[in-house]
Amino acid sequence: MDLKVVQSVMKNCELFEGVDQSQLGFLMLKGSAREFAEGETVYRKGEKAGGTLALIVSGKVNVIAEDGYVLRELGVGEVMGEVGTISQQGTRTVSVTASQPTQILQWHIRDIKEGSPELIKRLKDLAWKRIKNWYE
């Protein structure tokens, strides 16, 4: 994964807006790069979240309801997995499948807390916003 691309995507992501360069660098080092082929499952509803969330660095994914309906498409610069990560149940609330070859940078929530603790409130706000949108 190209670090300059990752840095650019992070800088343009709403979640990381205003985060200083040293914090971004720390998070880049702590992140785990993962790749998914088109059609491959990234997250499956009901599985343990394991405290992880991810940033889409390239490609697109579909957020899929139980009935197979595509709730939303997420692309470069968007975060996923935050709902299951911060929920008390700690499980994925929807399935996410790559709609094209996709690269993500994944973190454990403890790394976010360590590298940029102010992001936790933003993650919670994002999670509640997503939950609200799914149920409206």
* Length in residues, the chain: 136
pLDDT at 136 over 80: no
Domain that residue 109 falls in:
3-135
How many domains is the chain partitioned into structurally? 1
Return the pLDDT at 80.
93
**pLDDT band for position 132 (cuts 50, 70, 90):** low
pLDDT one-digit tens code per residue, 59-89? 999 999 888 889 889 999 999 988 888 888 8
> What pTM, to 2 d.p., does this model score?
0.88
What is the CATH number for 91? 2.60.120.10
Q: Which residues of 35-61 are buried (b: 16+ CB within 10 A; e: fewer)?
A: ebeeeeebbeeeeebebbbbbbbbbbb
